[in-house]
Chains A and B, each alone.
Chain A
């Protein structure tokens, strides 16, 4: 149903109506970047996520939010007030042309407007509607207020992140929102596959709490099998305490490195005179009880720390990897943009912002689909940028009608 042309894409024949806030922004971005025609439906005046900082050159403005730019590439924008009667009618006309609606309103909100799944599936029986909320559409917490931090706290992730003697640590970068949005995208794609086979749409109910609970590794099984409660272990892996300490972040000459699962690059440490007993005492390799002893943990940590300070992160990264030891550098932002590997894979892509007369690097594809590439063909839309394209050309409104709808606050 899409009008998009150009290179073949995986989802190029799909149309998605986007009614999402922060919880769903990454979900519809996935569809848009895989080729679907995603139409962001914004209230007149623009979507609230346009107010999220940072802003371009730090000037707050609804057309300058880098947050909005990040998540809305390739999407088109129309303005529409769903709370008005005309707005609802226009929305239903759009639903007839769409395959998917993704929404993040509180449970029941769209039902109250007469735009819930039941009503929309009467307009378009093949419609897939994906509802993303903090706790799901049902259950005692369904109406609770929630932010990203609530999702990571209630899914069990936050309690295993951070130092044991400090508060649980919220993982950086809105991971509750990212994870639930990604789950919503998967569920929607599964429903699309089923619709292809069986011809039926359906409603999908996605919960941020549950999406995070899917991401806490083996915590659930360890708890069931032996009532082991994973605790915060600083930068060590969550299994530390039940098994041996695995992994840590260590300072080095010019930043940080992470060590994982090895005593160390022994020959190198020896050459640097920092080997201590690591080579001569076989218990470092043969005796898990010895390795778990707090005194020995401290000893090893000290050897590794002293040694790491003799080298740069890049030296340690390359040297260890060449010895098949999985220690790595802790990349800074500067490192990311200089990393030869990401450059080699063409990760950074150019996106043009014509109204600014500028082209910027954007983070690129999360995966390479060889025949149907992920791509960004257009920067995030301006508020209502595609009103004319969609309302006039597709739905047949005249300019005059649109100006009346505009002054009535519908678009």
Chain B
């Protein structure tokens, strides 16, 4: 009798790009009814361009690298973060759209959005208004800098969060400048924190019946992920330095080249026992007796001499061979996987991480499933990423009881619909 854990919870997802949509997908895969809300006049930018100019080539990652008939239904980015959701179009810049939205709020549990501070209020959809519609509503505002404060209206993306949280400053190769992460990492950091605080608020509401307002400034969860370097600064006055792949107190620890193009392995030795096992595994038992590397401190201080010795051993070997030899010796070592290797990884395959899903326009592909396994409520991709306005009829007709005529009027007024208007991609 496997059941979905969050069945019966309805979420209005006004998020765009990645952070809030990531949260929406987490909840949707676990059974919540997540309604993604976009407009014909402005859809989620991750859908890509409506009609990319021929000169642009195909930039949105369309399947088979072919321009699809409805490009906005084939954006790889959109598809990476909107599985299991329903889609409703609604123009919130017009009174009728706002009215319909409020009707929906009356029948929902959670509202989440990531507009810059003040935008929801200007549309007449601030928490005070939504609370009137539904006192039990849980509303999350999750812009880059949160509600209130001098920066609340700043334009923000994950990249900006990375820099303004101090993460960039400590991230990079030793002796070089600060660096971005290639995967807009603050977005999933924020998105998963948002999911966490929504769930906490839902639990609280079950006990008390009370909803509440959740104010997320994406820069703050990013600060939560920085570890003890803030305390080190406060208490010891130390400013953390960029360490690249080195560990603050263990060695060897790093990323070493191996056979093949741009192939690398990580190796992390965490104790003297592992060091000895490592030396035997790479057939250099004399290193275990070398006083330059005799204990953790010596190894750490002499990393510059140690690393080339390790590279001598890794360079002529295959990634998996290195992993197998060292793992058998009890030493943490693995390839640095490229995306196709992550995809084909035997561990992920054995755990059924990827699930085949068929999308009307994009075809059948493997998508990432829920990231954890729950014994009684496993969760999974329940439906493909939705087409624009695909569920208008269900949401307006079935949930709100709107008549077909009324929906036709809304469609005529372009408050709802399924075909985006020129400029909807923000281009």
Query: Are A139 and B347 touching (Cβ within 8 A)?
Result: yes
User: Bound complex: CA of A294 vs CA of B210, how far in Å?
Assistant: 56
Q: Is B105 an interface residue (CB 8 A)?
A: no
B residues less than 8 Å from A196 (CB atoms): 203, 206
| Interface residue from A136, A193, A203, A237 paired with B184 (Cβ < 8 Å) | A237
Which residues in chain B, 328-371, are within 8 Å of chain A measured between CB atoms? 330-343, 345-348, 350-351, 353, 362, 365-368, 371
Contact B180 A213 (CB under 8 A): no
Q: A172-B170, A215-B185 are in contact. Are A140 and B200 (CB under 8 A)?
A: no
How far apart sit A190 and B336, CA to CA, in the bound complex (Å)?
A: 31
Task: Report if A331-B169 is in contact (Cβ < 8 Å); known contacts: A183-B192, A216-B342.
Answer: yes
Indicate whether A194 reaches chain B with its CB closer than 8 angstroms: yes
With a cutoff of 8 Å between Cβ atoms, the chain B residues found around residue A91 in the complex are none
**B256 partner residues in chain A, CB cutoff 8 A:** 167
Q: A54-B232, A136-B373, A371-B204 are in contact. Are A331 and B163 (CB under 8 A)?
A: yes
Q: Are B166 and A332 in contact (CB under 8 A)?
A: yes
Q: A218-B77, A332-B166 are in contact. Are A372 and B200 (CB under 8 A)?
A: yes
Chain B nearest CB: distance from A184 CB in Å? 7
Which residue, B59, B64, B188, B243, has most C-beta atoms of chain A within 10 A? B188
Q: Are B203 and A366 in contact (CB under 8 A)?
A: no
Within 8 A of B (CB), among A112-155: 117, 135-142, 144-147, 149-150, 153-155
Pair A235/B266 contact, Cβ less than 8 Å: no
Which parts of A214-230 form the interface with B (CB within 8 Å)?
214-230
Known contacts A168-B255, A206-B372, A341-B151; decide if A331 and B53 are in contact (CB<8 Å): no
Quick one: closest B residue to A139, CB to CB?
B350
Q: How many Å lie between the Cα of A352 and that of B177 in the bound state? A: 36
Chain B 142-173 interface 0/1 with A at a Cβ cutoff of 8 Å (1 = within): 00011011111011110110111111111111
CB atoms of B185 and A171 under 8 A apart: yes
A271: B residues at CB distance < 8 A: none
CA distance A243 to B3 in the complex (A): 42
Known: A210-B353, A226-B61, A237-B184. A330 touches B178 (CB 8 A): yes
Within 8 Å of chain A (Cβ to Cβ): is B409?
Answer: no
Of residues 195 through 217 on chain B, the ones whose CB sits less than 8 Å from some CB of chain A are 195-197, 199-204, 206-207, 210, 212-217
Contact A173 B159 (CB under 8 A): no
User: What is the interface size of chain A, counting residues whose CB is below 8 A from a CB of the partner?
Assistant: 155
Contact of B196 among A185, A207, A244 (CB under 8 A): A185
Contact B362 A172 (CB under 8 A): no
Known: A67-B228, A225-B64, A333-B233. A220 touches B373 (CB 8 A): no
Chain A's nearest CB lies how many Å from the CB of B360? 15
Q: Chain B residues near A139 (CB, 8 Å)?
A: 346-347, 350-351
State whether the Cβ of B398 lies closer than 8 Å to any Cβ in chain A. no
On whether the beta carbons of B61 and A221 are closer than 8 Å, the reply is: yes
Give the docked Cα–Cα distance between A13 and B373 (Å).
Answer: 25
Does residue A87 face the partner (Cβ distance < 8 Å to B)?
Answer: no
Asked if B76 lies at the interface with its beta carbon under 8 angstroms from chain A, I say yes
Pairwise interchain contact A224-B365, C-beta atoms closer than 8 A: yes
Contact of A179 among B63, B189, B239, B249 (CB under 8 A): B189
Given contacts A56-B236, A214-B371, contact A146 B332 (CB under 8 A): yes
